[in-house]
Amino acid sequence: MSISKVVSGVEEACSGVEDGMTLMLGGFGLCGIPENCIEQLVKLGVKEVTCISNNAGIDGFGLGKLLSGHQIRKMISSYVGENEEFERQMLSGELEVDLIPQGSLAERCRAGGAGIPAFYTPAGYGTEVAEGKEVREFNGKPHILESALTADFAFVKAWKGDVAGNLIFKATARNFNPMMAMAGKITIAEVEELVPVGELDPNEIHTPGIFVQRIFQGLSFEKRIEQRTVRPLNSPS
Amino acid sequence: MLDKNGIATRIAQEVRDGWYVNLGIGIPTLVANHIQKGMEVEFQSENGILGMGPFPIEGSEDADLINAGKQTITAMPGAVYFDSATSFAMIRGRHVQLTVLGAMEVSSNGDIANWKIPGKMVKGMGGAMDLVASADNIVVAMMHTNRAGESKLLPTCSLPLTGVGCVKRVVTNLAVLDIKDGAFHLIERAPGVSVQEIIDATAGELIVPSDVPEMTL
């Protein structure tokens, strides 16, 4: 028998999130972000949270909503452009920001979920990122020691999910979601389509349900596009 | 002197058949438009796609399908999607043969700065630090001078670094330069640009051979 992870909706899914917690949020830019849970975090009004997310949303959407309500104490990200309120809070010192290389961020989340406390990487050697970190040479090349990341809650967004919490992502909306699902003490998956067990092909599942504690079908997904780039009809490919 | 498309056209000549290539945001993105016909090349975008295609036809944009610049894109036949850890395994593990990225400054020992101007602009490094730390072939695409007319090819970078001793080749609006033994080496000049103009616009040590061919584009 499979173990059901289904909760009634976003309210039940986000129960237990408290001030001061560390939260992981999947997504790259606005692609593959847990929109429903972010709305709920705004409603709950949790404060002083640390958010681990590749980006910080844009003004008024995604994590930008939590920023405008001054709910975030610290951001751990790799790229935070395109957000004026973020920049204002960072430069004024209201918001603590830890910028880390994107590959190191992904691997630190993966390591956190995989029981690896730390690893060496060449990324960031000789830069500000390496300050205070152990340096060690492997094969004649310097590497820095990066530690694993975990979170009290991880919020991920998937295309399809089943009752057992197995997840399938769509296109580049996968990004950080699988690693963050692994690294959350409690991982909440919001999906576009929730199906009974047996409907997803076990060969096609990206994130096994063992990494997911709560799952629900999101009520709506705006899926805002950050940079709409197109070519005219009849143009060569 | 080259415009942005000219720089991209010249960099496209660096691409070899059978290569996986990561293109950064800005001028590097344009390189995809100038790849020699018939060449088998796949573009990787670090947010999780190999086999990136052109922008979608108007009306068929998919919010779930973007590149690292957050632009809507398409996927070529044979494309594959993956998570961010797998994406950087490709990059860190040296499975990607060429990385093209922009820079604010490059130094004559191959250091690069492109992610932060203290007190003014802090957008973050994104994937740039992982890319420059691991790629065997890094080509920097940039203007030779900044908006104030100051050289971006320096003895040492003044801005916070993205990577150390990693850049091997720089293609600017004025020239192609290689970096080795702590100096810039002038390889080619852009059409209509004199060697003296390049010397004047380069602050770092520049080695000029007796004959500097003009680029063929």
Q: How confident is the model at residue B203 (pLDDT cuts 50, 70, 90)?
A: very high
| pLDDT value at residue B119 | 81
Q: How confident is the model at residue B156 (pLDDT cuts 50, 70, 90)?
A: very high
Q: How many CB atoms lie within 10 A of CB B60?
A: 12
| pLDDT value at residue A134 | 98
For residue A217 the two structure tokens come to 């079908």
Task: Tell me the pairing of strands A135-138 and A151-162.
Answer: unpaired
Alpha carbon distance A174, A217 (integer Å): 17
Alpha carbon distance B103, B115 (integer Å): 8
Is the confidence at residue A236, as pLDDT, over 70? no
3-state helix, strand, coil in chain A (%, to 5): 25, 30, 45
| pLDDT value at residue A91 | 84
**In this complex, do B72 and A229 lie within 8 Å of one another by their Cβ atoms?**
yes
Report, as an integer, the average pLDDT of B106-122: 92
Report, as an integer, the average pLDDT of A36-48: 98
| pLDDT value at residue A81 | 83
Percent of chain B scoring above 90 in pLDDT:
94
**In this complex, do B84 and A28 lie within 8 Å of one another by their Cβ atoms?**
yes
Report, as an integer, the average pLDDT of A4-22: 98
Write the single-letter amino acid at B23: L
Instruction: Give SS3 for B10.
Output: helix
| Choice among B40, B46, B105, B214 that is catalytic | B46
Residue of B66, B86, B91, B162 best to disrupt the A interface, most CBs of A under 10 A: B66
Is the confidence at residue A235, as pLDDT, over 90? no
Measured CA distances, B30 to A212, B101, B129, B161 (Å): 40, 11, 21, 25
CA B208 to chain centre: 23
Alpha carbon distance B64, A149 (integer Å): 26
Q: Pick from B75, B45, B46, B47: which is nearest to B61 by CA?
A: B75
Alpha carbon distance A192, A149 (integer Å): 27
Alpha carbon distance A144, A166 (integer Å): 35
Report, as an integer, the average pLDDT of A96-118: 97
Given CA atoms A126, A130, A135, A139 in this order, what sign does their dihedral have?
Answer: negative
Residue of A24, A75, A102, A227 best to disrupt the B interface, most CBs of B under 10 A: A102
Alpha carbon distance A174, A206 (integer Å): 9
Alpha carbon distance B53, B75 (integer Å): 5
| pLDDT value at residue A233 | 79
- The string of pLDDT tens digits covering residues B167-185 is 999 999 999 999 999 999 9
- The string of pLDDT tens digits covering residues B10-59 is 999 999 999 999 999 889 999 999 999 999 999 999 999 999 999 999 99
Instruction: Give exposure, A175-205, as e/b (b: 16+ Cβ within 10 Å).
Output: bbbbbbbbbbebbbbbbbebeeeeebeeeeb
Alpha carbon distance B14, A234 (integer Å): 29
Query: What is the Cα Rg of chain B in Å?
Result: 17
Report, as an integer, the average pLDDT of A31-60: 97
Q: B42 an active-site residue?
A: no
To the nearest 10 degrees (0 to 180), the angle between helices B84-92 and A102-114 is: 120
**In this complex, do A172 and B65 lie within 8 Å of one another by their Cβ atoms?**
yes
Is the confidence at residue A66, as pLDDT, over 70? yes
Question: How many A/B residue pairs have CB atoms within 8 Å?
Answer: 187
Is the confidence at residue A74, as pLDDT, over 60? yes
Measured CA distances, B165 to A25, A127, A142, B83, B118 (Å): 34, 12, 12, 29, 22
CA A124 to chain centre: 22
Per-domain boundaries in chain B: 4-207
Percent of chain B scoring above 70 in pLDDT:
100
Q: Distance from A45 to chain B by nearest Cα, in Å?
A: 27
Q: Distance from A102 to chain B by nearest Cα, in Å?
A: 5
Alpha carbon distance A182, A169 (integer Å): 15
**Cβ–Cβ < 8 Å for A76, A52:** yes
Alpha carbon distance B30, B183 (integer Å): 28
Is the confidence at residue A87, as pLDDT, over 90? no
- The string of pLDDT tens digits covering residues A191-234 is 999 999 999 999 999 999 999 999 999 999 999 999 999 998 77
For residue A172, give the DSSP letter.
G
Alpha carbon distance A100, A103 (integer Å): 9
Write the single-letter amino acid at A214: R
Give the class (CATH, top level) of B4-207.
Answer: alpha beta
Alpha carbon distance B183, B175 (integer Å): 15
Q: Which residues pair with A74 in a beta bridge?
A: A50, A96
Is the confidence at residue A237, as pLDDT, over 60? no
DSSP B74-106: -EEEEEEE--HHHHHHHHHTT---EEEE--SEE
Write the single-letter amino acid at B43: F
For residue B105 the two structure tokens come to 């400054």
Q: Pick from B37, B139, B141: which is nearest to B96 by CA?
A: B139
